[in-house]
Structure 1
């Protein structure tokens, strides 16, 4: 359980300068700090064929915003497979903009359209607002596939951290509704269980970027009513995980959530789901969006993109 030299250098820098951790900040400060981190270490955004700000009107008249990316290789009239992406940030921070570089990479390398969803954040909009937005975004995109110039029969979901959890929970809700069949799930170090006593929670509780206190800070704001046992917050609490689409689960070795993810992989596999686990040695939670600092981030994005391209290609059955 050794950090890579780059990971150790980043942590040394963060803790040496005494940068405040999330639980020591106001919500506004935490959001600014997260955006700054992504801007400094996320890398330069790639050119894509086009981006489009997408307003998704809800029945109550409010609007959920998203950003649609089309890859460089795509013609303007070409119907593309679609990956709907939910950004990370503990359901409290992060945005479409913070994950702009990653979504551009995924679009170009996977050869698909990517719809990044600007779901509502806690504490202004606590659980289950983000869950409701995620489900609505998928159903809206499917109903408006022609408008988006995407193939409604070739949809996948993806996300990192809290966004990975939203992808998984949304897939479970769609399974239960029997609608909007999905081809693939890409879950990057998701939080599968709010309360956990597995060893990694303690082993990486301090000094590994996502500290124990910061986890609590996120959970308390997202779940002010104490809904940790609700399967929509802790998908490992779902009665069944069977019937989910094929999935890729990415974990970071030095992440307090890693053992929970591995337990999830074992369970879905035992319930008949096709799952591939990609464990990245020496990495900390959040590394995938920090490609300017971590070369491993580019390698993982390439592997993820290859899986997306394969799973969303024509002729692959949906689940």
Structure 2
């Protein structure tokens, strides 16, 4: 594990971690058995099915509550029984290129954060592209945060200890929501947890280095995601689409989990550097041998478990009072 201090990618790159490689192999094999989807609906159902083994098991919650937030399906996990002490809470946004996945595919990941950090974790099914293009999902995330702040007391949650997190496209939405809140004059959140985020569509050296079939995200797929999310190529330079291009001052403290062997690695290093240049508090950790989506391999990969523990410790450090439980 290397604490990243600038935007340079280390020249000596570790081979793919064996358990992460097994995760990627199993994913590829599962997709191969499904055949070629005939529609986007079938592709989404296939993705849900393929991810099913990886979302299962893991921490058991004291309470799980299914909710509807501004018309969106949502799920709130609590690792410990409620007490008189309101709990810190994180809104977690699943990845999937703005096109795939759900609170179901990422259910275990949300429960892992809840259990390891001792906080409540809320996930939402934001509207997917290409049916809902930018800025629909950003606005939905901003609305969900406002809903949480307004109703936190009734749910036993602490609105002053509100975190946001996400992976890949979810990390993109998390930053864009914080940028929107800042520009709207809303309160700064307690922290941003950003996992292998999609921060800029511009290709970099890592696109060439880590585009092989043994990785879990390829260039063609990522380009298609950017295209599905936006109405036109001109939108790809909008700072709320590509947060690397934004003015990054006055954002919450950030933890970036960077997968070393990821086509998005360079933009994650660059984003961490730009946050620091803007005066932000940043902890960016590059996980050697990790590929995109590696945290979902936590059931078999100690590397994923270590990264989750690092993040849980960071969350606890940024809570203004101890989490209950």
Q: TM-score, normalised by structure 2?
A: 0.88
Instruction: Report the equivalent of 2:237.
Output: 229
Matched, 1:97 2:97: no
Q: Which of residues 245, 251, 255 in structure 1 aligns to 2:258?
A: 251
Change (3 A) 1:30 1:22: farther
Instruction: Report the equivalent of 1:183.
Output: 190
Instruction: Report the equivalent of 2:147.
Output: 140
Mapped partners of 1:20, 1:83: distance in 2 = 36
Matched, 1:131 2:144: no
Q: Which moved more, 1:94-103 or 1:74-83?
A: 74-83
Mapped partners of 2:21, 2:254: distance in 1 = 30
Q: Which of residues 60, 67, 74 in structure 2 aligns to 1:54?
A: 67
Shift of 1:15: 5.6
Shift of 1:164: 0.7
Q: Which of residues 288, 298, 309 in structure 2 aligns to 1:291?
A: 298
Shift of 1:36: 2.5
Mapped partners of 1:176, 1:167: distance in 2 = 14
CA contact (8 A) 1:23 1:213 kept: no
Change (3 A) 1:48 1:132: same
Shift of 1:117: 1.3
CA contact (8 A) 2:172 2:197 kept: yes
Change (3 A) 1:259 1:22: farther
Shift of 1:301: 1.1
Q: Deviations over 1:74-116 (max 9, x none)?
A: 4254311111111111111111111111111111211111111
| CA RMSD in angstroms, aligned pairs only | 2.2
Change (3 A) 1:313 1:36: farther
Q: For this pair of structures, how many residues does the alignment match?
A: 307
Mapped partners of 1:299, 1:43: distance in 2 = 19
Shift of 1:294: 2.2
Where relative contact order (Cα < 8 A, 6+ residues apart) is larger, the structure is 2
Instruction: Report the equivalent of 1:192.
Output: 199
Mapped partners of 1:16, 1:117: distance in 2 = 29
CA contact (8 A) 2:162 2:191 kept: yes
Mapped partners of 1:9, 1:189: distance in 2 = 19
Mapped partners of 2:75, 2:31: distance in 1 = 35
